Amino acid sequence: MKSSQMREIGIGMVVPAVVIAIWQAVAMLGWVNPQVLPSPVAVVQKWIAYLLPLQPHVPGGEMSWLAWAFSGELIVDSLTSMYRVVLGFVIGAGLALPLGLSMGASARVYAWFNPLVQLLRPIPPIAYIPLAILWFGLGNPPAVFLIALGAFFPVLMNTIAGVRQVDSIYLRAARNLGASQRTMFLRVILPAAVPYILSGVRIGIGTAFIVVIVSEMIAVNNGLGFRILEAREYFWSDKIMAGMITIGMLGLAIDVGMNRLNNHLLRWHRGLEH
Amino acid sequence: MSASNILISGVGKVFQTEGKELVALHDINLEIPAGQFTCLLGPSGCGKSTLLNAVAGFSPPTSGVITANGVAVNGPGPDRGMVFQEYALFPWMTVEQNVAFGLEIKGMDKAAIGRTVSDLLKMLSLWDFRQRFPKDLSGGMRQRVAIARVLALDSPIMLMDEPFGALDALTRRNLQDELLRIWAELKKTIIFVTHSIEEAIYLADRIVVMTYRPGTVKRDLMVELPRLRDAAAPEFNALKRELGQLVMEEQQRHHNDELRMAAVD
């Protein structure tokens, strides 16, 4: 088991290693302008420099060692971006979930809200950028607004679908056991909808992550999105790539985290048996 | 353990589909005394499940009255526990939680729920599986949980809609014996829907054979053979032959009807 896993990982490394080796060779042979395509080694060096604190640590200074260790530009940018993702997502999903549950459960609420939802849903969150800046100015508020918007619709649509698709056999069984409307909703409809809601959450967080980068490029002056756009102005392609790698790693971390959460919350679910 | 009777009088059921009327049940009259094990037998389309659903309160009859425990049925309730063919266990609850759910709804206190649930789990050989989710159980085990869930309600009436239809023959026999043991011990009034003649003879005190569309009572007979019944005994087989003929007549009508409908299309 162990050795086969090692082998699989080994096989997985082959293609990236070859790509990086070719890239490094191309850079070393001087076939391309390093301002256009820096060598992988240069990118990694930049990434490390970007990660480390800008100032040397002053023992006994006003900054504690821990605060110093996290004062690197990359870490501050990542934390700022993630803060926006989390805040925007919590607001967006926090509004979408109750609305989705009531739209799914009540035909009347659905009839009230569905036309508006259908009208607004196809507008990409990015199209709200001008309005967001007009309404909220620059800084965190427009970014958080856009992220919340990006998370809102996937969670909403999936929650509605989740509530509506609940197999009627569960409803019949619960009614037979004497369940009240409230119990029915909390103990049957809601858990039965969880797989759908979670896949909405997953799409919502993915959208939030895309939107945060875009809105940082336009509406704020910090965060990873801002940083890579700023680097372009100085022709720092190595820094652009270092930022992109960081964005990729954060995206992967979110995905792995979501997967873990999914597997835990849906351990009862038939589709997930690993 | 109390038991209770079921009274079905003048029950009819008409479905409206695409402007057409479908008479599923017509003038059914049955009096089922407390503690009786009754099988509703017939081919598909004879309305046996429709009748059971009416007794359960899921789908009220369009004419006639059903009373259970002396009260007119108007909606589902825990006094008439139902075991479904599809098990209908809540997949997000463990075995234990599934069985406890009805008791929590009743508002029983935690300690009492724990005792009742563990007694039932032991009675149905589910104790070792109590922490599992339904997806990790075999069909037979799932149906045991569904039976335990209904028994937990301590309802005098148990309604069973082809509960063993999806099980293999050995598991099926095993659960039939278990059901007979539980029934003898707890004195439930059971209405059991099946299309298996052998299953009906093996289990029932009384067999009600139903006709194909509209569903009416074709034959209502008592099975006098002593339990546990031997499916190879001559009396068993004589009864099987007799019932087989009745059911096959209705099956033939069902078949002809299908051919006719196909010709219309």
**Residue-by-residue DSSP string for chain B:** -----EEEEEEEEEEEETTEEEEEEEEEEEEE-TT-EEEEE--TTSSHHHHHHHHHTSS--SEEEEEETTEE--S--TTEEEE-TT----TTS-HHHHHHHHHHHHT--HHHHHHHHHHHHHHTT-GGGTT--GGGS-HHHHHHHHHHHHHHTT-SEEEEESTTTTS-HHHHHHHHHHHHHHHHHH--EEEEEES-HHHHHHH-SEEEEE-SSSB-EEEEEE--PPSSP-TTSHHHHHHHHHHHHHHHHHHHHHHHHHHHHHHH-
Mean pLDDT, chain B, integer: 93
Phi and psi, residue B193, nearest 5°: -95, 130
Which amino acid is located at B113 in the chain? Answer: I
Q: How far is CA B28 from CA A15, B215, B219, in A?
A: 74, 8, 12
B17 strand-pairing partners: B20
Share of chain A above pLDDT 90, in %: 82
Which of the four pLDDT bands, split at 50, 70 and 90, describes residue A149?
very high
For residue A230, give Cα distances in angstroms to A70, A184, A215, A226, A247: 21, 53, 14, 6, 15
Which of A173, A180, A267 has its CB closest to that of B88?
Answer: A173
Give me the residues of A, 184-203, that contact B with CB < 8 A: 187-188, 191-192, 194
In sign, the C-alpha dihedral spanning B232, B238, B240, B245 is positive
pLDDT for B252 equals 92
Rounded to the nearest angstrom, the minimum Cα separation between A273 and chain B is: 9
Share of chain A above pLDDT 70, in %: 98
Tens of pLDDT, residues A14-61: 999 999 999 999 988 988 888 889 999 999 999 999 998 887 777 777
Binning pLDDT at 50, 70 and 90, where does residue A271 land? low
Domains and CATH numbers, chain B: 6-79+155-264 (3.40.50.300)
CB-CB contact of B176 with B164 (8 Å): yes
Q: Which residues of A touch B93 (CB under 8 A)?
A: 268
pLDDT at A71: 85
What residues pair up with B161 in beta bridges, in sequence order?
A: B193
Looking at per-residue confidence, does A270 or A128 come out higher? A128
Quote ipTM for the complex: 0.90
Integer-rounded Cα Rg, in Å, for chain B is 19
pTM, to two decimals = 0.85
Question: Smallest Cβ distance to B106: which of A170, A173, A178?
Answer: A178
Cβ–Cβ < 8 Å for A249, A184: no
Cβ–Cβ of A194/B82 closer than 8 Å?
no
Q: How close, in Å, is residue A244 to chain B by CA atoms?
A: 40
User: What does the alpha-carbon distance between residue B265 and residue B261 come to, in Å, rounded to a whole number?
Assistant: 6
Say if residue A274's pLDDT is above 80.
no
Query: Which band of pLDDT confidence, cut at 50, 70 and 90, is reported for residue A257?
Result: very high
**Residues B113, B169: contact at Cβ < 8 Å?**
no
Q: Mutate which of B52, B74, B82, B92 to test chain A, going by most A C-beta atoms within 10 A? A: B92
What pLDDT is recorded for position B1? 37
For chain A, give every domain's residue range.
64-265
> Which residue of B78, B86, B92 is in closest CB contact with A191?
B92
Task: Look up residue A186 and give its DSSP letter.
Answer: I
Question: How much is the mean pLDDT over chain A?
Answer: 92
> What residue in B sits closest to A182 (Cα-Cα)?
B105
Task: Give residue-wise pLDDT tens across range B65-115.
Answer: 999 988 999 999 999 999 999 999 999 999 999 999 999 999 999 999 999
Q: What is the pLDDT of residue B2?
A: 43
Report residue A266's pLDDT band, with 50, 70 and 90 as the boundaries: very high
CB-based contact (8 Å) between A168 and chain B? Answer: no
3-state secondary structure at position A83: helix
Cα dist. B256→A173, B20, B212, B250 in Å?
Answer: 35, 19, 11, 10
List, for residues A58-96, the tens digit of each pLDDT value.
777 777 888 888 888 999 999 999 999 999 999 999 999
Cα(A113)–Cα(A156) distance, integer angstroms: 11
Dist CA B190 CA B206 (whole Å): 10
Residue of B53, B93, B103, B105 to mutate for A, most A C-beta atoms under 10 A: B105
Residues facing residue B65 across a β-bridge: B9
Decide if B106 and A172 are in contact by the 8 Å CB cutoff. no
**pLDDT tens-digit readout, B41-62:** 998 888 999 999 999 999 999 9
Mean pLDDT over residues A241-254, rounded?
A: 94
Q: Which amino acid is at A91?
A: I
The CATH superfamily holding the domain A64-265 is: MetI-like (1.10.3720.10)
Instruction: Give φ, ψ of B9 to 5 degrees.
Output: -130, 125
